[in-house]
């Protein structure tokens, strides 16, 4: 068998099984309303390169048209991350990514590494958000709108987090980046000294154009 079955959420799937499930849930915008289907969708998309390279936890998956497809009406997966921004993914690539165990294992290691790197600077980012609250309100640095709803206010890395990680890895090139899931001890202090943070409203953070390469 070219692609042995994979186990997702305790159940085995052949590639045909998973393709059939994807086709079924993508038949309508409500295809992921079921909690089990939503959990499976989150597990499936995490394997995909385009998703794990973002370096953030997947919050949920929803179904909608691809804005780049015009009025063709085909539905696809949209991945929502904890920071609030979303990413559109292709169904065929998402399914294929689940059946390469070695690459999947490496991707999950990198996911853990990024998650641990974010966790180590969580307090610093939280303090930044707290300090920028003026009279119970935060001001978006892009549109200047004010909000007193904490969930609608995001702390954004103006110097993209993933680019900070790339730079730090260059500086720590003797570290075992190919095997570790935790950053070296110098990471937290280096991040906190070099991070360029800003307050954005949820809307601006979702809409902003994200650079594809290090400036």
Task: Judge if 155 and 79 occupy the same domain.
Answer: no
Residue 215 counted as domain residue:
no
The token duo for 96 is 């294929």
In this structure, the answer to whether residues 131 and 182 fall within a common structural domain is yes
Residue 175 CA to its chain's centroid (Å): 25
Q: Where are the alpha helices (DSSP H) in 47-100?
A: 49-52, 91-97
| Model pTM score | 0.58
CA dist 57 and 72 (Å) reads 30
Across the chain, which has 215 residues, the per-10-residue mean pLDDT values are: 83 94 93 94 87 84 79 80 87 85 76 92 97 96 95 92 94 95 97 96 83 61
162 and 55 in contact (C-beta within 8 Å)?
yes
88 with 153, same domain: the answer is no
Is 134 found in the same domain as 69? Answer: no
Range of the domain at 17: 6-97
CATH no. for residue 89?
3.10.450.40
pLDDT, one tens digit per residue, over 71-130 is 556 789 999 998 888 999 988 888 988 887 677 778 778 888 998 999 999 999 999 999
């Amino acid at each position: 068998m070219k692609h042995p079955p994979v186990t997702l959420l305790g159940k085995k799937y052949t590639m045909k099984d998973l393709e059939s499930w994807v086709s079924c849930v993508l038949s309508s915008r409500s295809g992921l309303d079921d909690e089990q289907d939503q959990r499976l969708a989150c597990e499936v998309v995490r394997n995909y390169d385009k998703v794990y390279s973002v370096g953030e936890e997947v919050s949920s998956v929803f179904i909608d048209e691809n804005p780049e497809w015009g009025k063709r009406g085909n539905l696809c997966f949209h991945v929502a991350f904890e920071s609030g921004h979303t990413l559109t993914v292709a169904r065929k690539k998402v399914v294929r990514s689940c059946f390469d165990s070695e690459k999947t294992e490496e991707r999950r290691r990198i996911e853990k590494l990024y998650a641990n790197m974010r966790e180590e600077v969580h307090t610093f980012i939280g303090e930044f958000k707290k300090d920028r609250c003026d009279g119970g309100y935060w001001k978006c640095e892009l549109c200047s709108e004010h909000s007193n709803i904490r969930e609608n206010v995001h702390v954004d890395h103006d110097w993209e987090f993933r680019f900070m990680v790339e730079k730090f890895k260059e500086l720590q090139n003797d570290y075992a980046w190919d095997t570790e899931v935790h950053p070296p001890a110098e990471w937290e202090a280096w991040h906190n000294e070099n991070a360029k943070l800003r307050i954005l409203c949820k809307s601006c953070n979702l809409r902003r154009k994200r650079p594809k390469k290090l400036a």
